Amino acid sequence: MSDLARLHDPIVAIATAPGRGAVGIVRASGRDLRPLIDALIGAPLKPRHAHYGPLRAADGSAIDHGLALHFPAPHSYTGEDVLELQAHGGPVVLQLLLARCLEAGASIGLRVAEPGEFTQRAFLNDKLDLAQAEAVADLIDASTEAAARSASRSLGGAFSHEVDALAERIVRLRMLVEATLDFPEEEIDFLEKADARGQLSAIASAVQRVLGQARQGALLREGLRVVLAGQPNVGKSSLLNALAGAELAIVTPIAGTTRDRVSETIQIQGVPLHITDTAGLRDDAAASDEVERIGMARSWESIASADAVVFLHDLTRLDEPAYQAADAQISERLRQVDPARLLQVYNKADRTDGSARDGLLLSAKTGAGLDALRQALLERAGWQAAPEGVFIARTRHVQALRRCAEHLALATEHAAQADAQLDLFAEELRLAHQALQQITGRFSADDLLGEIFSRFCIGK
C-alpha cells in the first residue's frame, strides 16, 4: 500500500503517556467512525459533548466506564471524524480499549497510528500549517517555562502570521516586477515610480527583524551547549555543581577524578543550558592510564561541537611552571575554536587576589562571580531579554529566513545596477518567497514532512 493511500486509513492510538495515571485517552481519527461508535458505545453521540457510560467489549460487557467524545469532520483536531475515549489510566485498560477499537474497526481498515500521524493529518487538512504543527511537539518537549510560552505563541499562529505577512509583501512586489517584464522600455521607470528599491529595503529589514526573533526562539527550544574545559583539578566539577545547585559530579582534591563527561541541563532566564563537565586536559604522555586518555579524547570531541567553551584556570597555580606549560598547550589546541565561543574563566578567587587577570573571576566554592558567568554565557549565545513576542523556532526556520535574506540581498544588487535586469530581480524575489513558504509548509519536500512528523510521539 502506498504512503498516499495510508493517509486515508482510519487510525487509532493511545494518546496519553505510558504508565499508570488517573485518566487515559484512546483517540481515533478517520472519515467515518460510526462503526466504531456503534460497537463501543452502542448509541449515537452528540457532537462535542461528553457522554459517560460503559465502553463495551465484543460480548457487550464493560471494559471500563468512562467518557466518549465525538468530533465530526471538519470541526476536529485532524479535520476528520475524531473519537476520544477517556477511561481510567491503567495500561491494561488502555490496551484493552485499543485492541477493542482495532477489532471493531477492522471493517473500515482501522490501524494503529504512526508517530505524529494525527498532527500530520491536521497539517494536510489545513487545520495547522507546518510551523504550528512543529509547535505542538515543541510545547510537549518544552524544558523551561519561557520555551513553553513561546511554543504556545507559535501554536497560536504568531510565527506563521509574521512569515505570511512577509510572504505577502514579497508577492506584491513580485507581481509588480513580473507585470513590468512585458514592457522592457518601462523597466527603469518602474523601479522609480513604484519605489521598488524602497519596498525591497523595507522587506529586507522586516526579514532581519523576524530572523532575530527566530534565533531567540531557536535558542529557547534547543538551548546552548556549554563545555567546561581545563586541566585536572581546576574546579570544573565544582563549577558544574555550583551552576546546577546540586552535587552532580564527584569532587575531590585528586587530579583526574572526572574520567568521563558529566552533563546537566539548567536554565538561565528561561534559556536551557546543556552543560558538560569534561575530563581534565593534559598531555597524553602524562595520563595515568588508557581510561584517562579515552576521557580526554571525549573531552576534545565535546569541545569541538560546543556552542560555548569555558576554559577554566586555577588562580592558585598560575605561577607554577608546569601548570603554565600545560595551559599553553591547551591554549594552542583551542586556537581551532572560534574566539566568539571561547570564554576565559579564573576559578578559586576566594583563595587569591586575581583582580588583574584578563577574564572572568569566580569562586565555585563561594558562588562569587557565578552571575557574571551566567550573563556571559547568554551573551555568547546572542540572547536578549525575552520579550513577550518571542515565538518558538527551529534551526530549519532560521536557515530558511537566512536564505530569504540572502536572496533579497541579491535582488537589491540587481536593482541597484544602472541597467537593472528585472528578470534576475524577479527570480531572486521568487526564491526568497519560496524560502519563506518552506517554513509554513506551503512549499515543502515530502521527505522533510516525513522527517518532521516521525519525531512526534504516538497519539499526537
Annotated binding-site ranges for GTP: 233-238, 252-258, 277-280, 347-350
Whether residue 74 has a cis bond before it, omega within 30° of 0: yes
Buried b (16+ CB within 10 A) or exposed e, 205-231: ebbeebbebbbbbbbbbbbbbbbbbbb
Residues annotated within the binding site are: 27, 84, 127, 233-238, 252-258, 277-280, 347-350, 460
- The helix or strand, by DSSP H or E, that contains position 28, with its residue range, turns out to be strand 21-30
| CB half-sphere exposure, 165, CA atoms < 13 A | 13
Bridge partners for 227 per DSSP: 276, 309
CA-based nearest residue to 200, from 433, 396, 400: 433
CA-based nearest residue to 449, from 96, 131, 21: 131
Contact between 37 and 51 under an 8 Å Cβ cutoff? The reply is no
> Any idea what the Cα angle at residue 131 is, between residues 126 and 137, rounded to 5°?
100
Residues annotated within the binding site for K(+) are: 233, 252, 254, 257
Q: Which residues, 6 or more positions from 94, have their beta carbon under 8 angstroms from its beta carbon?
A: 14, 16, 24, 26, 87
Residues annotated within the binding site for (6S)-5-formyl-5,6,7,8-tetrahydrofolate are: 27, 84, 127, 460
Contact between 188 and 420 under an 8 Å Cβ cutoff? The reply is yes
Q: Which residues, 6 or more positions from 216, have their beta carbon under 8 angstroms from its beta carbon?
A: 383, 384, 386, 390, 393
Q: How far is CA 80 from the centre of its chain?
A: 28
Q: Is 327 helix (H, G, I), strand (E, B) or coil?
A: helix
Output the furthest CA–CA distance in the chain (Å, rounded): 86
Residues annotated within the binding site for Mg(2+) are: 237, 258
